[in-house]
Amino acid sequence: MNDATRPVYLKLRDLIAAAIIEGRYREGDMLPSVRAFAAEQGANPLTVAKAYSQFQADGLIDVQRGVGMFVTSGAAERLRTSERRRFLDEEWPSVRARMDRLGIDVGTLLDEA
């Protein structure tokens, strides 16, 4: 699915996941409130809440009512593993097919990078 057709809540989820993987939000860190993140991204708060609820369902954040949402222990590594799997299963096949069409082999690509 290309980015233009991807639901907004999944795009927001990807932004948060990247921030956790990159260490901008570390284990135990509080995430921005739904309203703050919605304002920052120019998104509807209900859409942000949907993205956050997916993280909660996946056990990547803990919600403390009246306090906030916090990154759970091991969240970055679990996200890295799932994002790696998603890349290999969903994105890599089309990248590899395009490389084959263009006559680019992995060794050449790494040499030129």
pLDDT at 2: 55
- Tell me which residue has tokens 């593993």: 81
Task: Please determine, looking at this structure, whether the domain spanning 3-112 carries the CATH number 2.60.40.10.
Answer: no
Is 17 in contact with 78 (CB distance < 8 Å)? no
**Digitized pLDDT (tens) for each residue of the chain, 113 residues in all:** 557 788 999 999 999 999 999 999 999 999 999 999 999 999 999 999 999 999 999 999 999 999 999 999 999 999 999 999 999 999 999 999 999 999 988 887 777 76
Give the start-to-end residue ranges of the domains of the chain. Answer: 3-112
Compute the distance between CA of residue 4 and CA of residue 76 in angstroms, rounded to an integer: 26
CA-atom Rg of the chain in angstroms: 17
- Tell me which residue has tokens 């795009």: 11
